[in-house]
Structures are given as C-alpha cells and as structure tokens.
Amino acid sequence: MGPVRSELMWQAVVDAVEIAGAGDLLDVLDLGGGTGGDAVRLAQLGHRVTVVDPSPDALASLHRRGVEAGLVDPVRGIQGDAADLLDHVAPGSFDLVVCHGVLEHVDDPAFALSTVATVLRAGGHVSVVVSGRNAAVAARALAGDFVTAQTLLGRSADDWDLRTMGPRRFVPSELEALLVGGGFVPVAANGLRVFADLVPSAIVDTEPGARDALYALERVVRTSPEFSGLSAGLQSIARLDLSPAPPNPGG
C-alpha cells in the first residue's frame, strides 16, 4: 500500500464506481481530474475515462502517465472546465462523474453541479469530494491560530471569497444541500482522512503496522456521522434524481 492519504482518496473513487456500476465497465468523466492519477487507474480497470481539466500541464502529465501505464485505450484528456463542460462533452454521455477536489475552486459550485447533471445518463451518479471546514477550523486552532479558526467557523460555503480566503470549504449539510439543489439524491456520505492528516508521519512511517492500522481505522470511521463531519475530505455519492418535479402551486 502507498501513502495512507492517497490510498484513501483512491478508495473513495473505487467506492463510487461500485455504487455507480456494480461491476459493470463505465463511461466515467473525471472533472478536474488533474494529472490523472485516478483516471489512469480507472482505465487500467477497463473503464472508458475522460478527463476535463483547465490545466494544460496537468493534461500533459495525464498523457505521460497513460503512456507509462501502457494503456490500450488511452484516457481522453480535454482542456476545459466545469463552466464550459457542455462545449466539450455530449449531454447524457456518462455513467459516473468524479468531481474530487474541484468545487473548492470553481466560482459557482451550484452551476457546476447542474452541468454535471446534464452530462450524466439517466440513473447516473456523481461522486463529489470537497475540503471539510470543521477540519480546517480544528487544524488552525491546534496550530494556535485561533483568530483564523474563528473566522473560518463563521463562514458558509456560499459566503466565500476565493480570492481572499483561498479554496472554499464545506460542512456536510452544505454539500448535501448543493447536491439536492442540483437534482441529485445523495446515496452515500463518507468522511475521508479523519485522522490521517493529523497523525505525525514519523509515527505512520516508523511504527510497525501503523500504516495498515490507520488505513483500517479510517475505513471504519468514514461512515460515522460523528467523525465524518470532522474529516479533511467530505465525500458524497449521489444519483441523478429521476422523479418528476413537484407541481408548481403558483403556475
């Protein structure tokens, strides 16, 4: 097993694929897929993978990674972003959209998710991972930066200035509300890295068995609401809602 942190993030992708596909080979869009660490591993499992990312450097790394992995069917890399997604991919063309570590950076997360809904097939799934605000508050407080901790505590994800405050951070209820508002039904919520970012690497790297034990602990606590709200990463896996919209009483 590699570093616990990256293994946990990969396992979050595997969890999404299992829920979305139950063993089938899927058409997967990795939106903001970056250098393609997850995308290439998904392609090695046989899934048909497209990465859309605004960074040409990341896409070049994705290409190199795919070549080194000897992929028979390469990952399709497209320069674009969440806002212009429909200029690059067809509506209704994916079974699963992976959107990990991206909504922190976009100007309008609600618009990004409504676009994601458009490119999914009926019954398709999205997996979203965002940074947890509670974990950031705890990290600031533990570092003695109590003023920033309190500032973060008082902010909500929709009252966030990316330019002055850096990447947006969420609490679980905000992520769930975003997904529901975007036309999704959340089906699983996981807390990623409840402890992994807090444990000194000297312990994990030197204590015999510590890495495996930490990984096992993280996999157990990820579904506990008491702990997942404190995790560095919040994952929600959600299905496109196919139920008809309720009648509009005013119209």
Ligand X SMILES: C[S@@+](CC[C@H](N)C(=O)[O-])C[C@H]1O[C@@H](n2cnc3c(N)ncnc32)[C@H](O)[C@@H]1O
Can you give the binding site for ligand X, defined by CB under 6 A?
Answer: 31-34, 53-55, 58, 81-82, 100-102, 105-106
Comparison of 182 and 247: residue with beta carbon closer to ligand X: 182
Q: At its nearest, how many Å lie between ligand X and the CB of residue 89?
A: 12
Residue 29, phi then psi, degrees to nearest 5:
-105, 120
Write the CB contacts of 182 (distance below 8 Å, at least 6 apart in sequence).
110, 113, 114, 116, 117
Q: At its nearest, how many Å lie between ligand X and the CB of residue 174?
A: 18
Comparison of 3 and 210: residue with beta carbon closer to ligand X: 3
Task: Report residue 168 as tokens.
Answer: 């947006």
Q: At its nearest, how many Å lie between ligand X and the CB of residue 82?
A: 4
Rounded Cα distance between 174 and 16, Å, is 20
Comparison of 57 and 207: residue with beta carbon closer to ligand X: 57
Q: At its nearest, how many Å lie between ligand X and the CB of residue 54?
A: 5
Write the CB contacts of 80 (distance below 8 Å, at least 6 apart in sequence).
52, 53, 54, 87, 88
Comparison of 29 and 244: residue with beta carbon closer to ligand X: 29
Secondary structure of the chain: what % helix, strand, coil (to 5)?
45, 20, 35
